[in-house]
Amino acid sequence: MKAISLFSGAGGMDVGFKQAGFTVIAANEIDTHACQTFRANHIETTLYEGDIANYTNELAHLTDIDVVFGGPPCQGFSVAGKMDITDPRSQLIFSFADVVEKVRPRAFVMENVKALGHLEKFALLRKQLIARFIKAGYTTILITLNAKDFGIPQSRERVFFIGLRQTTNPITVASFQKYYKTPPTLREVISPLGKAGTLNNRKTCKAKITLATKPVLRQSPYAGMLFNGQGRPLNPDGWASTLPASMGGNRTPIIDEAHLFHDAKPWVEEYHQHLMKGGKPYSSDAAPHSLRRLTVDEAALLQGFPLNYQFCGPQSKVFSQIGNAVPCKLAYVIADVVCQTLAYPDFSQNDEHSIGQNMELQFA
């Protein structure tokens, strides 16, 4: 099956679609460094670099396309940002629709942050987008998936707009159940790389770790705000919170190497307990040397990129490429479900959650 990749970034979604058997014949990305990364890893795909509006007509000449997929920029919709509908990047969801209308693939998959699919603030925008897909002939659904439900050690919820043309086999909640898998712990995933700065884990983040003078406490020591910046501590025996595209500075998550490699009692938990009992915050420079930031290679593994994946550009841009990506394994799940649906268009699952046009599915 043939696919077109839009807003491709570093190509994380492409990795998953290729693993599901798709041949990605064309892609589009505007960021220079992400384009360099994409070319280094997807040499068989024709990459159109630049504004997608400049290539819509060119892409329209590609024929017999099975799927158009991609993740338009989410900054205008993210709860971590300004949630600004007037942000020019917010209009790029309609650029995705432009390509779908012109190429007319058998299916499409558009990824974005959960807020776009659920907040009332974006209801009109959602309605306008889905109306265009339906007018173009696509049964369109919204499904929210969390990466950690599919064997990925990261709690990362994203919404997927999935459209199908000329099929009697609907995609339902049941379509994803066979992919359920308990994720490994952070320890299992990143500890094989070795300590930060060693041969297989050299791309360290040098952002200093300082304690907040007015910490914000939550029940979990791995929530709240114990440190300056928005980099949260990670529990090696648990899963990561959503890795942000703003990693590289003080928003990069924090790891306790003594806990990770030597099974020492986690300092973060001890400090949190001290504060919860009414103890005074320590001085800002009191964080132990065993605490350090997540490395580039560790972040890439937590997003599911292959070990030999080549990233290009300054480290800050590489962190951004990783944080912006769709986890490769989650992309594979979506791609495989779509692939099976297209391969067997007359098969019906007879599931009670079967859906018609424009129905939202909440999938926790």
Give catalytic residue positions.
Answer: 74
Query: Looking at this protein, which amino acid is placed at residue 207?
Result: A
What is the SS3 assignment for 279?
coil
> What is the C-alpha separation between 229 and 211, in angstroms, rounded?
9
> What is the C-alpha separation between 347 and 349, in angstroms, rounded?
7
CA 157 vs CA 87, 115, 241, 315: distances in Å: 22, 10, 10, 25
Neighbours of 127 (CB within 10 A): 11
> What is the C-alpha separation between 95 and 285, in angstroms, rounded?
48
Task: Kindly write down the DSSP assignment for every residue of 123-172, as one continuous string.
Answer: HHHHHHHHHHHHHTT-EEEEEEEEGGGBT-SB--EEEEEEEESS-S----
Query: Widest CA span of the chain, in angstroms?
Result: 67
Q: Are 236 and 194 in contact (CB under 8 A)?
A: no
CA 143 to chain centre: 14
Phi, psi dihedral angles at 90 (to 5 degrees):
-65, -25
> What is the C-alpha separation between 185 and 182, in angstroms, rounded?
9
CA 17 vs CA 14, 144, 146, 327: distances in Å: 5, 18, 18, 11
Query: Looking at this protein, which amino acid is placed at residue 259?
Result: H
> What is the C-alpha separation between 189 and 294, in angstroms, rounded?
13
What residues are paired with 227 via a beta bridge?
Answer: 211
> What is the C-alpha separation between 238 and 243, in angstroms, rounded?
14
